[in-house]
Structure 1
Amino acid sequence: MHSEPNHPPASDWVIRSAQPGSVERIEAWFGSHGYDPHRHDTYSIGRTLAGVQSFHYKGSLCHGVPGNTLVLHPDELHDGMAGTAAGFRYRMAYIDPALIQQVLGGEPLPFIAGGVSSDPRLFRASQAFVQALDHPLERLEEQDAVYDLAMALRAVGGKPRGRKRLDYRSAERARAFIMEHQQAGITLEMLEKASGREQWSLSRDFRALYGTSPYRFVTLRRLDTVRRLLLDGFTLVDAALAAGFHDQSHMTRHFTRSFGVPPARWVERLRAGR
């Protein structure tokens, strides 16, 4: 684990928590440019530890500083860069909207305006996820933290008004089908059959409940497989084909759009953090 540096490191680095669990957690340092514009299909919940963490989000340039909580909504375009020449260090957790829905039970996902919040409820609720990576999260601790975060997101973001009732059970059946068949050529017709919900209504509900479209959800699950295989030593070509992409270039395009860096650069930063 990296201790707090007395001076900026010579190269950017990223550390991922090695602990298995439902929530991906990272710590990173960047001296200048961090990520190109990209979109996750998770909530990105973070804390700036040092420096100024700047990013474009919803048409504005936002700045994360120590003491605030970063809350990026699923599938919202954003980038990342140092706000000063001193660089920045941060921790981030990526929370699957399906975990939030286990608490909210079918409500539209809460939205926190601005990408950065000074609300103490979000600060407290996110603390478990942004503590030092060498602190392992016990299973019950993680589950409690997901509940606290879901409640804080709902309280701070407010409950959306004017939405038609969502069919959570059908959307969850579609999500489960995707998780079991993510390497197949999934179509909306297949999801309609698996869920029992008319395809266009299902697509609308899926976006509101899980923060992204069914196609994007399938693509991100395949990219999860790519990342796992790359860390296991697979080549880019082999990882792409094993995950269900047409070829390496097809996978690389989607990878860069989803994570802000090409896959080879992503692996390089993780190696620098070891």
Structure 2
Amino acid sequence: MVRVEPQVVDLERWPALAPPSGVPGQPPVLIAQALRRSARELGLRIDYPDASAAGEYDAPVRVVLREPEHFWARLAECGVVGLGESFMAGDWTTPDLCAAITTLAPWIAANADCAHPGERAYGREGRGSVGGGRRRGCPVTVELEDSVPGALTSLYTDETMSTSGAVFASGARTRSRLQDGTDVVHLEAPSPAPRRGDLGDAQRRSADTMLTLAGVEDGSHVLVATPGWGELPMRAAERGAHVRTMTASTERLSALGSRFAAAGLDEEISLFLGAPSDAAGMVDAVVAADPGATAGRAGHDEVI
């Protein structure tokens, strides 16, 4: 990954890289104190602008803070996402980015004062507007489906470009029943460890499993509330279902339309620009996948 200098960042397009205006309360201070105390245990050396340091001199991982206050504020507001944004904004640097992220990300995810997935869009209380809100003192629309551009998504996914959980054929399954009578199937990690080439089939299997659980079959009328990059609505259409799906992004609208046409499914899938709440009429099933994973627990109620 290449660090982006702040002066070349288009802050209209990437407002999250703007210097943070401050996070209310004590979380940034508590995060700073906690990481300083944990540095030695993590095998981490932290160099501060005032020439002070935390951790062992010869620690295997070194992080140089250029804008400590910005760094702590981003972790408090955005958690692991803030770690990446602060690196791109130039708040910190390191001679080994992979080692630094491998060390810092789990610590941030486990720290209660750092924001968790979904809180960026929905707030720490799990409430907020799916369509937007105020961020860093200026109006910003936070769309979960556009949090990662397609060009970047394609670098770490398979040909389906799905970002939700995959279902590998070799993963053991156990079934349990909740107190309310709901049956839950737990899918274990595959064994042996899968290769990247296995991911496409696993993602298609995941989409098929979801559609089967929703009762989607030939002739069903289905609303795919979150199309991702198109795999879920395409799998539904291939079953003979009548599919409607939507996106709030003009860029994604074009990408999805092109993909549906290339697969010969543009007649079976009705695609429009808008939000799920804009859809009218009766359907047999409503399915959603990728942004639910992105939202985390805090945002599930809003997504649903």
Q: TM-score, normalized by length of structure 2?
A: 0.24
TM-score by length of 1: 0.26
Structure whose CA Rg is larger: 2
